[in-house]
Structure 1
Amino acid sequence: MADLIQKELQSFGSPEEVSHDIFSAHEVPEIYVRDAGDPHKDQEECIYLITQELKARGVANNHKLAYQSRVGPVQWLKPYTDEVLVELGKGGVKSLLAVPVSFVSEST
Structure 2
Amino acid sequence: MTWRWEYEPDEGTVAGGAPAGFLAEVEKMADELVRAAEVLHLHGPGYQDADEGAKYAFVAGGFFVYMVTPRSELLTIWQVTPNPLPLTTRRSFGRWGLTRPAARFQSREEFMQA
Shorter-chain TM-score range: under 0.3
Which structure has the greater CA radius of gyration?
A: 2
Normalized per residue, the structure richer in helix is 1
Normalising by structure 1, what TM-score? 0.27
State the TM-score, normalized to the length of structure 2: 0.26
Higher relative contact order (CA 8 A, sep 6+): 1
